[in-house]
Chains A and B, each alone.
Chain A
Amino acid sequence: MSRPGRSLLPALLAMPLLLLLVVPVAMLVARATPDALLGELRNRETLSAIRVSLLTSTVALAVIIVLGTPLAYWLSRSRGRFAAIAGTLTDLPIVLPPSVAGVALLLTLGRAGPVGGWLDSAGVRIAFTPAAVVIAQVFVAAPYFIRAARAGFESIGAELRESAVIDGASAWELARLVLVPMTARSLGAGAAMSWSRAIGEFGATIIFAGNLSGVTQTMPMAVYLGFENGLERALVLSTVLIGLSLVLLITVRLLGWRAAAPAS
Chain B
Amino acid sequence: MAQRRKWPRFIAELGRGLLMLMVALCSAAGCGRAESPRRTESIMVLAAASLADAMGEVGAAFEADNPGVNVRFSFAGSNQLRMQLENGSPGDVFASADRRQMLAAQASGVVQPATIRTFAGNSLAIIVSRTNRAGVSRLTDLARPGVRIVVAADAVPAGSYTRRMLERAGGLAEFGPGFVRAFEANTVSREENVAAVVTKVVLDEADAGLAYLSDASGSRAADLIVLPLPPALEERAEYVAAVTARAGNPSRAQRFVEFLASDRASAILIRRGFAAPETGAP
Interface residues of A (CB under 8 A from B): 3, 5-6, 9-10, 106-107, 110-112, 127-128, 206, 209-213, 216, 224-225, 227-229
Contact = CB atoms under 8 A, between A and B. Distances in A.
Contact of A128 (B7, B80, B189, B204): B189
A125 B188 CA distance: 11
A212 B188 contact: yes
Nearest to A117: B204
| Residue from A5, A206, A210, A229 with most neighbouring chain B CB atoms (10 Å) | A210
A127 B203 CA distance: 12
Interface of B: 4, 7, 79-80, 82-83, 148, 150, 153-155, 187-192, 200, 203-206
- Chain A residues touching B, majority SS: loop
B155 A128 contact: no
Nearest to B192: A225
B190 A212 contact: yes
A112 B205 contact: yes
- Chain B residues touching A, majority SS: mixed
Contact of A225 (B148, B155, B200): B155
B54 to A, nearest CB: 24
A45 B206 CA distance: 24
Contacts of A106: 203, 205
A110 B155 contact: no
Contact of B187 (A5, A107, A110, A212): A212
Given A110-B203, A128-B148, A229 B190 contact: no
B207 to A, nearest CB: 10
Nearest to B133: A111
B189 A6 contact: no
Contacts of B148: 128
A228 B80 contact: yes
B189 A216 contact: yes
